[in-house]
Structure 1
């Protein structure tokens, strides 16, 4: 089975990676694709950067940075993986990655770093759940992440 693990660097997405690792440890034979989707540059970023190549490089670097923790978890578990950093609307791009890599399941976190987007348009996981042609498993955290008290 080929699993897609979309990660954004958040603890919620890493919990999905940990869940996939537990499945493999319990005997699931799986190939893993790690993916990070960077949203396109906004108008301000385009104006300030002056050079589209700079924006592309910053986006690619941010995507690779977001994958590092998930890669470390998989490497520590001895699980081979492929990586993909893409750019576009997160939900639609995740569905595209599923189709391009021939994934048979998506395992993703319930919440990520895109709080404003979630508030305005609904969560990425919800969009993927409804648009994806393969099963989507939404991994809930084992225990709630610690939140610092606000003053």
Structure 2
């Protein structure tokens, strides 16, 4: 079984994940907690880490089952085929959002273009390239995941 990425209607990520779970389809919608402010109050809310995306794990033959949910729009495609997410990448996302593990951060004098190996935390065993060095932060690119991290000094 492979992990696929479903594109959903805007703001439907949690609803689609709930509907798919009720239908017996293994799915994962990574959520983060943010502090939102309204005119009269502040509140912590859980929002999806990836807007309009839900990960589903199923067999190739069962791919059409996800469209039982009215919020599921289509699959995300890469090079003309449905994009497949590796189990390791899902595990990295889960580990990163877990928050139970602590990581040691040491800031060394890096310069733009340096290739660094992350040896602790949720992105351990990943290679990153320093993209920006500032007085307050570093910006690094995780090559294997195609994402950018901003780290404070």
TM-score by length of 1: 0.25
The structure in which a higher percent of residues are helix is 1
The structure in which a higher percent of residues are strand is 2
Task: Please identify the structure whose Cα radius of gyration is greater.
Answer: 2
TM-score by length of 2: 0.24
Q: Which has the higher contact order (CA 8 A, sep 6+)?
A: 1
